[in-house]
Chain A
Amino acid sequence: MESDEEGIYDVESDASINYNSSDDGIYSEGENTAHGEANDFMDEPTSYKCLTSDQIFNYMMKVVDEVNAILQLPPHITCILLNHFKWDKEKLMERYYEGDQDKIFEEAQTINPFRLKGKVVSSNTNNITSFSMQSTKRPLTTQEVCDICYLPSQHMNGLQCGHFFCIDCWNEYLRIKIIDEGQGQKIACPANDCNILTDYETILSLLRGSDIKTKYHQRLTDGFVMSHHLMKWCPSPGCSVVVKVTTAGTRNVTCICGHAFCFHCLQPIHEPVRCPLLKKWLRKCNDDSETAHWISANTKECPKCRATIEKNGGCNHMICQNKSCKFDFCWICLSAWSPHGSSWYNCNRYDANDSVAARTAQEKSRAALNRYLFYCDRYMNHRQSLELEHKLYSKIKFKMEEMQQHNMSWIEVQFLKKAVDILCKCRNTLKYTYVFAFYLRSNNQATIFEANQKDLEMATERLSEYLERDVTTDELSNIKQKVQDKAKYCEGRCEALLRHVYEGYDMDLWEYLDE
């Protein structure tokens, strides 16, 4: 693991880094290669890294060492100073050399090590190692009584402020601060009216138990990570990984825990819509409680026989389960499926003409609601389909095993998994195209966008339908060609749509409605 840590330092040490160095790959996106080579507008997997809390701690110490090469202070004191200056190295140096050093130590709630025990020593002539020997342990000739538990103890410990407590009380105190209050850098001495901050060296020497030490490492690095605009904690609950991007432009990242998220707003990946618009949409969805029934509706009635149908796959081509009906219809618009394959497939666009007749104010407001429900329904549909599509992975695994029994190698059957990857990515994109479309004012570019959306939707449904249904019945010899063709087409539609949207962002072609 030695070499990995080296790799991290390389990245930070400055702008002239080779991002393609091969040892970087370990914590990069790994096996998920769904982002094809052609996606030049997508974020390359090598543009970010995942760091464990230990790696972050080491990385933080590396920064401390860099500063210390100049300041020549004990590292744990430098760490406190840097945290006080929100890890702005230059600001610390500037203040340190331009003026009142004692004041800096006081502001940072620590004690100037050069002023310890009343003697002032020059920083130039002093040797750092002598500081680390100034242990926090006081030589004890007799037993002392701890001010917290009132028990005599042989193991009294304290900071440079001279307030000493027994090791049991220290541990109890630190447990409350670290576990209950989630503190790290800002834990002060337990003495009344003493604001001197604890340093990591003392804390790590006092703490008993590896679980609390790990927690302390995490909390200690919080300020460091927060101050660093290229690093963020993975938002997945219980995950303690930090994602570090190499440039501020990186958006889509996947943590080693598997969670894929937007580095800017920490929401799940939401292409092609941008963070502020997504935020607006999510707020609207939460506020519109009266439409909650739309959102939770997972069942619909067959438009022909009225039998209740539950959607159990991602495909929107429904076949009524009522044996005597078997009506083919579209889950989204509830009309017959047959025209959906033809050119007048019109399921993705809210037809404003339908509501033209509605002119009265009352009807207008209803039209606005209907418009919202239209987009919301499609957004929710694709979200639900995406969840169901994840079940396809296990289904496809059986097929892959079956194919391997028919003289295909492991590597040859991977196309199926890749196809499901593509399907999920296209579904996710489709889901957010409806958020984008909801806020979009119609113009020529918006019409092109809607055409692209329609194409992508059709391609996605076809791929979904094949993977979900036909793949189980088709000849093994046909499957590979068919799946690859459909997946490739689908991916191509997705890229075309995204490219168009991003061009629109660059050239300022999009106009938005004030919803």
Chain B
Amino acid sequence: MNNLKIKKSSIRLVIALKEEAQVILNYFRLKPVNEKTIYPIYKNEEETHWLIISGIGRSNAAASTAYLYSYSKASIYTSWINIGIAGSDKGNYGDLYLVDKISTYQRKTSTYPSTMPKATLPKMHLFTSDIPISDYTSYELIDMEGSAFFDIASKLTSKEFICLMKVISDGPKNDIKEMTKSKISNLIKVNLFKIIDVVSYYERISEAEFLIIDKPELFNDIKSKWHFSATQSFKLETLLRRIENFCNKKDIEKIIKNCETSSSVINVLNLKIKNNLVNWSKF
């Protein structure tokens, strides 16, 4: 997996149709990338938010998710979001749902996406089908991409960073054949603020993870002055993380100033830890 050092949040959106994506493209100011790509890809100026139009169906959803991952150099702490319309006879036309269980014809076992905590949005069980289904009675939500998106995204990050949201667009009372491009756009538009709310949760957790894995402040500085092997670099990073909690930058620089080799830097830092008496009243 790629492991880019990015301080800002990192979001990837996978959406089947341009009509579903349009309001989201506008809201996040996403522009088409400047080269020919297998699937249409959009990104914002800061390159934190990317969106791919996958097209309909499971193969497209799987392929486009994997494609966006490598094209946009996503990280393990990138959040992956699938937004789209779905059929249902259980919920109300136009309502937005989070998905917490996914089933398919192909697999006996279901999969279980996490959902954001304290969400006020209702949750439903999604059935992903390869063909349009007109009998809505057996399932809560029906789409044609969700399971494939989730299967691939689960290989790219942990499930807490994956989200599926569906707006009910058709059902026994709303014939799928009567769906138009503008109706689809409108369904997403009326739910835009709820969608943004969910996306912002995923922005926050992604950003928080990047802050945690961020290299210690002095890491690159020290590495530029001495030569560290890969194992030593790992040791240095761990030691700095521990020491930074009780020692300021200047003091660290002072104690390693006279070291001649990378090994002696590590020894000096090790000694600093060895002699540390944690002051528990500070924490």
Q: Judge: A and B partners, yes or no.
A: no
- Interface residue ranges, B against A (CB under 8 Å): none
